[in-house]
Amino acid sequence: MNLTAFRYKDLQLITKNFSDRLGAGSFGSVFKGVLQDGTAVAIKRLEGVRQGEKQFRAEMSTIGNIHHVNLIRLLGFCAEGEHRLLVYEYMPHGSLDACLFNKVSSDDGVLPWSTRYQIAIGVAKGLTYLHDKCRDRIIHCDIKPHNILLDASFAPKVSDFGLAKLLGRDFSRVITTMRGTIGYLAPEWISGTPITAKADVFSYGMMLFEIISQKRNAEHGKRCMDKFFPIQVANKIQEGDLQALLDADLRRDVNLEELQRACMVACWCVQEDESSRPTMGAVVQILEGLLQVNKPPVPRYLEVLAESLDQSVYS
């Protein structure tokens, strides 16, 4: 795999005994470290013997053998005793989640439209590689802003492959337990039917709505059915007034043609019938203006999703 095998004590040294924590997830924490040559790295320390081993193997088997500009790069690992750690390239701007929702991307808290649009295209290219260009098709299973990292120039890299599923090229579906994050889950996860790469397409579509608005799809404080942004987009597409979706600070530099493409793509991606969703390769072509797309029908599943989120918020 051309990966570096690190000793645990060396990782303790370069992280100053894991003192600079970048973030935490369900499988462990991520710390910043600096190699002897001055290269900054991000080190994921997996916690829990059984679960840590499971995620360690999942990430090694998926991204250990692949390389793409829009996928996080695995540099090395540590498998010493009970210690399971993964060493990745360091992403200076952190997660897309932080840049979109924590208002830290610029002085006024607004990530420029051109940057957000290029992030959307970059993530789509990364997923296209996973779905169509690897030896085994890889379904990420947990696409959301938290799992998209941004480098120094805000180029996106898909990360966190602990829930990913590998699918041989002779197969199009896989039966697996439900995995992912509420609010981004495709309806087939709920129904228990076998999963295809179109589950990632649905999650991408839900994330694309958030990239467009720079807000979470369902915000606390008002009833979700009134505030649920994907439903607003679907309705405005029918009315032909997409610019009205955006706040004044987002509207000032938006490219209306790109906004229309992004909104159309997002609505096609979240269709309940997976056969109606585009492939990620088609998404890239549409966003780059190389492929025309028809007006999508209103995705009825969005109303079901809004009601379920509404109950989870106010129960």
Q: Which residues are catalytic?
A: 142
Query: CA neighbours within 13 Å on the CB side: how many for 78?
Result: 19
- Residues in CB range of 215: below 8 A, 6 or more apart: 100, 101, 229
Give me the DSSP letters along 169-183: TT-S-B-----S-TT
Amino acid at 232: Q
DSSP SS3 for 107? coil
- In order of 96, 145, 227, 254, the CA distances from 274 in angstroms are 26, 22, 25, 30
- Residues in CB range of 278: below 8 A, 6 or more apart: 201, 265, 268, 269, 286, 293
- In order of 59, 64, 142, 218, the CA distances from 162 in angstroms are 5, 12, 9, 26
CB of 274 closer than 8 Å to CB of 190: no
Look up residue 55 and give its two tokens. Answer: 């995620």
